[in-house]
Amino acid sequence: MRDAFIDLLRQSALKDPRIILITGDLGFGVLDRYRAELPHQFINAGIAEQNMTGLATGLALEGYRVFTYSIGNFCSLRCLEQIRNDVCYHNANVKIISIGSGLGYGALGMSHHATEDVSILRALPNLHVYSPSDLSEVKVLIGALMSYDGPAYVRLGKVALASNSVRTVAINDCNRWREPRLDVSCILLTHGTTATLAQSVCEQLPFNCEVYTIPCIKPLPDNALYTLLKGKRLVVTIEEHTLLGGFGSAIGEYLLDKGITVPLYRFGLPDQFITVGGTSDELRKFCGLEVSNVVATIQRRFQQ
């Protein structure tokens, strides 16, 4: 997914000299073509994410459209003060591209786990938060970022995720992952890398349900979400992120604010650091984010 995003950004930058990509000394295999074709629109700020973010803000305030690029926590939490005080306070046109969302860099340990970023960054004023689930959403996301002259945070998985069909999607909408069924009373909402997990879960449930991806976590798609959730028997959220303040919490806040009375169950990561090593799939299983556990839990909740 990151490769597709950078290639689309390269195509946009070839047409717009105001676009500048800044890396924190990472992503060279992915960024090689961009750097070769657009050397004057590329900066390696080194392993200095705070400086990278301050530089990005200064360029943005001079009229450039700036993208910063690094691994999950490095371009977000390591320079949180600069994002808050420089980027968001000045409403600067800086897009923060975070690679390896969730447990994407699982084998490298908790320092590389991007599992609290949504909770923290969605609290910052002016900052939009995006988490596309497949290439269809990545493609429309580029257009949305180019048309929005303000700060944004983008979570991208390391690998491309193919949806089960060609999808017509919008960035500020609830995008159906599965074909619609009749008498749907259970809705699974997800984003990012857990879309395929949600699809597998839905296929094994003995009752009708639908999976929707929501690529824009902040702001949530207000009208579409209201229509989708009202009158349902059960709403389930699935995310590769801590349950504290993440996507599931945002949906819960939305239900409360809109006065929608429907049971909500959230799947995510526990309130603890993951101290074991392994692939992202192995760590998901360690945290209970596996199909069999999710299916069994939803069935119990649905019968209550």
Concatenated DSSP letters of 114-162: B-SHHHHHTTSTT-EEE---SHHHHHHHHHHHHH--S-EEEEE-SS---
Q: Are 21 and 31 in contact (CB under 8 A)?
A: yes
- 155-180 as b/e, with b when 16 or more CB fall inside 10 Å? bbbbeebebeeeeebebbbbbbbbee
Distances (CA, A) of 213 to 9, 217, 236: 23, 10, 12
Separation between Cα atoms, residue 300 and residue 225, nearest integer Å: 25
* Predicted confidence (pLDDT) at residue 264 exceeds the cutoff of 90: yes
What band does 29 get if pLDDT is binned at 50, 70 and 90? confident
The predicted model scores a pTM of 0.94
Mean pLDDT score, 152-180: 78
User: Residue 178 in 3-state DSSP?
Assistant: coil
Of the listed ranges 39-53, 71-85, 237-251, 274-288, the least confidently predicted one is 274-288
pLDDT digits (tens, 9 = 90+) for 41-90: 999 999 999 999 999 999 999 999 999 999 989 999 999 999 999 999 99
Per the listing, tokens 């860099």 go with: 105
Average pLDDT for residues 29-49, to the nearest whole number?
94
Going by the DSSP 8-state scheme, the letter that residue 24 receives in this structure is S
User: What residue segments make up the domains of the chain, in order of their start?
Assistant: 2-156, 175-303
Q: What pLDDT score was predicted for residue 27?
A: 78
Strands 152-156 and 175-176: unpaired
- Classify domain 175-303 at the CATH topology level: Rossmann fold (3.40.50)
pLDDT recorded at residue 261: 94
**Residue 182: what pLDDT?**
63
Region for residue 84 given its phi and psi (left: phi exceeds 0; alpha: psi -120 to 50; beta: otherwise):
alpha
How does pLDDT run across 180-191, given as a tens digit for each residue?
A: 566 678 999 999
Give the pLDDT of residue 102: 87
Q: How far apart are CA 267 and CA 287, in angstroms?
A: 10
More confident residue, 75 or 177: 75
Please give the pLDDT value at position 26.
Answer: 85
Q: What is the pLDDT of residue 65?
A: 98
Q: What are phi and psi of 83, to 5 degrees?
A: -65, -45
DSSP 95-118: EEEEESTBTTTGGG-GGG-B-SHH
Same fold, 2-156 and 175-303: yes
Q: Kindly tell me if the per-residue pLDDT of 100 is higher than 80.
A: yes
Second-level CATH architecture of 2-156: 3-Layer(aba) Sandwich (3.40)
Output the pLDDT for position 107: 86
